Amino acid sequence: MRIAVLLEDKCQPDRCSYECINYCPMVRTGDETIVKTEDAVRISEELCEGCGICVDKCPFDAIKIINLPEELETDLIHQFGENSFRLYRLPLPEKGLVTGLLGANGIGKTTAIRMLSGEIVPNLGNFEEDVSLDKVIEKYSGTALGDYFKSLKKSDIETALKPQYVDKIPAHYSGKVEDLLSRIGDDYERWVEALEIENTLDSKVTNLSGGELQRVAIAATSTKDADVYFYDEPSSYLDIRQRLKVAEAIKEKSEDNRVMVIEHDLAVLDFLADNVHLLYGSRGAYGVVSHPKGVRVAINSYLRGFLDEENIRFRDTEIKFEKRAPKSEWHSRPIIEYDKLVKEWDSFRLETEKGEIPEGEVIGIVGPNATGKTTFVKMLADAVEPTEGEIKKHITVSYKPQYIKPNYEGRVIDLYRTEISDRLNEGFFQSNVLNPLDLEDLYEREVPKLSGGELQRVVLTLCLGRDADLYLIDEPSAYLDAGRRMTAAKVIRRFMEKIDKGGMIVDHDVYFIDYVSDLIMNFSGEPGKKGKGEGPYEMRKGMNKFLKEVEITFRRDADTYRPRVNKLNSRLDRKQKSEGEYYYLD
């Protein structure tokens, strides 16, 4: 089975010479395989021979010709239009379980839960006319999916969906949080307490931070009286403690209901889900939903990039965690030394211990939101002046900020030529940064039109492309899917090892921090009021201090060595806490 896809976000008809049409052999013989339309091109899948000429000729990589297994043809659940994205199969939530969805961005996870929540009616590939839910019920008659849609049509089940982009909520509601939650249901106070958002009740939704908005959205969804609950990326904007609090609340919701979760933080997904559907495919082109697997098997399969039962390889390289002992000695030369630092704002005070940053080490910075991590990094980057204390350095610093604003109007390649032109042709930089992060695929795109994840990769590359002695990288995993996160961690790790320079990474994804760090710096305090920075410490000591603060323990997976959160109050959790080993046991 052959499908043809035109990626609308890459197609640029105003700059196109339509060489795909001029060089297509089917057009030259008189058949209209590729036709120029008002907006772009149309590709006839019936006539296409799959020669790939049009793919090679397109200067914007906007055309994809993909061969798929014939058996998938009967599994097509939805197609958005001619030469547009299509989804094969659907997952199904089960009562009493948390069902996870795991896969790359742009391959149908959100589309799947919008269908299951009743927002979109699956068209079974018939995109030219409206398809009724009766057609879907007829096709899947006698199956659990058919029964589900039948119940949905009869309103025998109610659904509640927590949207992916919580930052858009203030555009629809600007009143007080308590007024919003009380309008939805009577037991909202239960979720307010579980998610620790009591201090937001009198605040207007428009004044909330990203983390507060996320937890309010989860509380609003959980308060609804429904049978099936969908949570789309519930850990975004949250620190690790908040993520686990959210996970506990969602797990509680699954005791009497069906729950489905899309999640990119693998540690949180491992802690939260009972079973997982993997989604694989090609971004913007197609997605395939795998059969459900137990959460451990699913995540290990995802890291391997291979599905045994379906004999499908969906990633070229395996993601491996090293079972390495933490470094016991630092390099002898510190590249930065700093006194005890104090930074005071009107309502916030940060203190950090006297310390130093050694050459050739990557320091992971962990701690709750709003305790001063970003402020500390900004002081090292000279973006913020300390109120007290001196930073002793005679080095150059490259800084990637937490919040990225696309303030460049041109193409990605023009931005790179302006900022890091010397790096672009270096073999080392191409093989260790540009190629793994798939940056060439974005060269012709306009910077303001990039998605959050695409912009994150572009700016991370800019940071690494500058010649510096210290690289300060704030929340590089934000907006990236699980696979891209681990690739970015691998890129940073290898880059620092090769150039033997210093790095500091702020992030809330424990997999990311575990993969990339040699040392750990801990931040604690009262969020929004006071913060304290300690360290850097060697890996085990630093992670033990951090995990003790959030009252969780980790173990290593026997097959992949990835960190796994122990179930609270399990035998291993109690054992490690009694021994003071919160990080993991050898």
- Report DSSP letters for 352-372, one per residue: E-SEEEETT-EEEEE--TTSS
What burial class does residue 232 get, using C-beta atoms within 10 Å of its C-beta: 0-12 exposed, 13-18 middle, 19+ buried?
buried
Is it true that 73-158+226-313 and 334-538 share their CATH fold? yes
Which CATH topology does 334-538 take? Rossmann fold (3.40.50)
Report the pLDDT value the prediction gives residue 586, as an integer from 0 to 100.
59
Is residue 376 a contact partner of residue 341, using CB atoms and an 8 Å limit? yes
**pTM of this prediction?**
0.91
Q: Which residues contact 369 (CB under 8 A, 6 or more apart)?
A: 209, 211, 237, 238, 239, 242, 527
Report the pLDDT value the prediction gives residue 325, as an integer from 0 to 100.
47
Q: Which architecture characterizes domain 2-67 according to CATH?
A: 2-Layer Sandwich (3.30)
Report the pLDDT value the prediction gives residue 320, as an integer from 0 to 100.
82
Token reading at 416: 């790179």
Q: Which residues contact 201 (CB under 8 A, 6 or more apart)?
A: 176, 177, 178, 181, 192
Sorted by where each begins, the domain ranges of the chain are: 2-67, 73-158+226-313, 334-538, 551-586
What is the distance in angstroms between the CA of the first residue and the CA of the last residue of the chain?
49
**3-state DSSP assignment of residue 392:** strand
Q: Average pLDDT of the chain?
A: 92
Cα 507 vs. chain centroid, distance in angstroms? Answer: 12
Residues in the chain with pLDDT values less than 50? 325-326, 328, 330
Report the pLDDT value the prediction gives residue 585, as an integer from 0 to 100.
64
> Beta-carbon neighbour count of residue 37 at 10 Å?
10
Report the pLDDT value the prediction gives residue 358, as an integer from 0 to 100.
87
Cα–Cα distances (Å) from 313 to 59, 277, 482, 552, in that order, read 28, 15, 17, 34
**CATH class of this structure's domain 73-158+226-313:** alpha beta
Contacts 24+ apart (CB under 8 A), 11-18: 11/39, 11/40, 11/60, 11/62, 12/60, 12/62, 12/444, 13/39, 13/40, 15/60, 16/40, 16/59, 16/60
